[in-house]
Amino acid sequence: MAQNDTVTRILDAAEVLFAEQGFAETSLRTITAKADVNLAAVNYHFGSKKALIQAVFARFLGPFYELIEISLDAHEKQYPDTILSIEDILRFVARAMANVTEGDRGRLAIFMRLLGLAYNQGQGHLRKFLQTEYRTLFRRVMALIARATPELQPVERYWRFHFMLGAAAFTLSSMEHLRAIVEHDFDTKCTEEEVVGYLLPFLAAGIRAK
Amino acid sequence: MAQNDTVTRILDAAEVLFAEQGFAETSLRTITAKADVNLAAVNYHFGSKKALIQAVFARFLGPFYELIEISLDAHEKQYPDTILSIEDILRFVARAMANVTEGDRGRLAIFMRLLGLAYNQGQGHLRKFLQTEYRTLFRRVMALIARATPELQPVERYWRFHFMLGAAAFTLSSMEHLRAIVEHDFDTKCTEEEVVGYLLPFLAAGIRAK
DNA sequence: GTATGTTTGAAACAGATGTTTGATTTGCAA
DNA sequence: TTGCAAATCAAACATCTGTTTCAAACATAC
């Protein structure tokens, strides 16, 4: 399992470095040095840097995708025809994310930071990769939100969905930094769970404003 | 005024390209080509690429800073001891931004995208630049928000403030792209003003959730 | 143990990057 | 017009980038 070990070590190093510095700012030499692996290994195992970036995402999103699909399926089977509230939906998403990043505290921040980068970085080849790869999940969540907010016009609901996404991606991706400020300014520590606990009511109230 | 023209053309080209592609992804050669200016001009007029990035920000934030300070001063002088609501505060900020970016539609998106990049990019040398340079404005706005939300604990208010910032920065910076999707999926066009009109109630409801 | 295919390794590749140089042109004051 | 500083230009600089190469080391099946 030598090659598997090499692949894993590259992905581990890359995911941390990408989140810390961005994609363009992180060189393959930095990654391979941190992974203690030969430079050529990236191109041998992944083919290119671009493919490595997508592999980093796939390792995150694959399990997340499966987990949330499974839990939604289970819930719909157990309670058919129930309409989930916004809070319920958000809790499903949050729990799936927590499960995917469990063990490694701080990995949630990496996840969200990568997501934010993917949305904002470059010509959006990553955004397209994500949107085509996870279109069905996206549609499913959107449909749930639509049933939870029947009073909203579709366009406004669409925008409010992205307001939620933005609030989550932006803050959770800068979590370490923001938490450090909280600790300095308010002399209080915040756990990841507490921050998410602050976040969900904000999002829920926002999406059904007015 | 030859050098002034060169400086302006570089800043114009850089602000667009940075917003489109990010900082690291945009080379000085691309910038100077778009600006129709010699490559060496950047280092001659600004000293370095890093300094150019900060200059791009300064050209945005300087006028914004002055404008919002002036309008807040004027309001406090005319209506002393009145407590601004969240909606009022947000409207002040939004109006200052609209004025700063007026004329160039789409410049609001560039502004927000640069802001988001600055928050997420690299080791955060830009974030530090912003925070030290505009600390007083930040504190003033935070104090206004505190008076508008006396029921909130300081820590939760701090987080909710950044939730708002994230929702705004994330969505407004991807506005072109998101608007294109809206046009395709819902067969409706959204103006910048409409998006901001959707955003502010969302933020206001979020910050005083529960 | 030999042969076969896979994985690593050091080195080199071609190209792009930010920056510097030194000659040349420009704009303006004396 | 002359003189001089400021601004422009083409070229070169050193360094870093992703990628490729090919020999060596490795594992595995016969």
Q: Which residue has the higher pLDDT, A105 or A201?
A: A201
Assess whether pLDDT exceeds 50 at residue B22.
yes
CA of A24 vs C1' of D16, distance in Å? 13
Q: Among B24, B162, B205, whose Cβ lies nearest the Cβ of A206? A: B205
Joined together, the tokens standing for residue B51 give 């300094």
Task: Please report the pLDDT score of residue B177 as a whole number.
Answer: 82
Task: Please report the pLDDT score of residue B97 as a whole number.
Answer: 92
- Looking at residues A86-90, what average pLDDT do you find? 97
Q: Among B113, B171, B206, whose Cβ lies nearest the Cβ of A205? A: B206
CA of A49 vs C1' of C22, distance in Å? 39
- Looking at residues A49-64, what average pLDDT do you find? 93
Task: Please report the pLDDT score of residue B44 as a whole number.
Answer: 97
Q: Tell me which residue has tokens 């970085």.
A: A121
Q: pLDDT band for position A131 (50/70/90)?
A: confident
For the stretch B154-177, pLDDT in tens is 999 999 999 999 999 999 888 888
Q: How far is CA B201 from CA B7, B167, B205, in A?
A: 39, 12, 6
Task: Please report the pLDDT score of residue B2 as a whole number.
Answer: 47
CB B42 within 8 A of CB B49: yes
Coil, strand or helix at B22: coil
- Looking at residues A66-76, what average pLDDT do you find? 95
Assess whether pLDDT exceeds 90 at residue B112.
no
Task: Please report the pLDDT score of residue A2 as a whole number.
Answer: 46
Task: Please report the pLDDT score of residue A78 as a whole number.
Answer: 96
Assess whether pLDDT exceeds 60 at residue A123.
no
Q: pLDDT band for position B1 (50/70/90)?
A: very low
Q: Position A1: which residue type?
A: M
Contact A205 B201 (CB under 8 A): no
For the stretch B81-111, pLDDT in tens is 999 999 999 999 999 999 998 878 778 888 8
Backbone φ/ψ region at B29: left (φ over 0), alpha (ψ -120 to 50), beta: alpha
Mean pLDDT of chain A: 90
Q: pLDDT band for position B123 (50/70/90)?
A: low
Assess whether pLDDT exceeds 80 at residue B120.
no
Assess whether pLDDT exceeds 90 at residue B133.
no
For the stretch A6-30, pLDDT in tens is 999 999 999 999 988 889 999 999 9
Mean pLDDT of chain B: 90
Closest chain B C-alpha to A5 CA, distance in angstroms = 28
Percent pLDDT > 90 in chain A is 68
Alpha carbon distance B193, B183 (integer Å): 16
- Looking at residues A128-134, what average pLDDT do you find? 81
Q: Please state which of the ranges A100-114, A148-162, A174-188 shows the lowest mean pLDDT.
A: A100-114
CA of B163 vs C1' of C3, distance in Å? 63
Q: Position B6: which residue type?
A: T
Task: Please report the pLDDT score of residue A82 as a whole number.
Answer: 93
Alpha carbon distance A122, A118 (integer Å): 8
Question: Do you know the residue count of chain A?
Answer: 210
Closest chain B C-alpha to A161 CA, distance in angstroms = 10
Quote the DSSP letter at residue B27: -
Task: Please report the pLDDT score of residue B113 as a whole number.
Answer: 82
Q: How far is CA B108 from CA A37, B61, B74, B192, B200, in A?
A: 44, 12, 24, 8, 15
Q: From residues 136-165 of B, which are strand C contacts by CB within 7 A?
A: none
Q: Does nucleic acid strand C have an atom less than 7 angstroms from the CB of A39?
A: yes
CB A45 within 8 A of CB A140: no
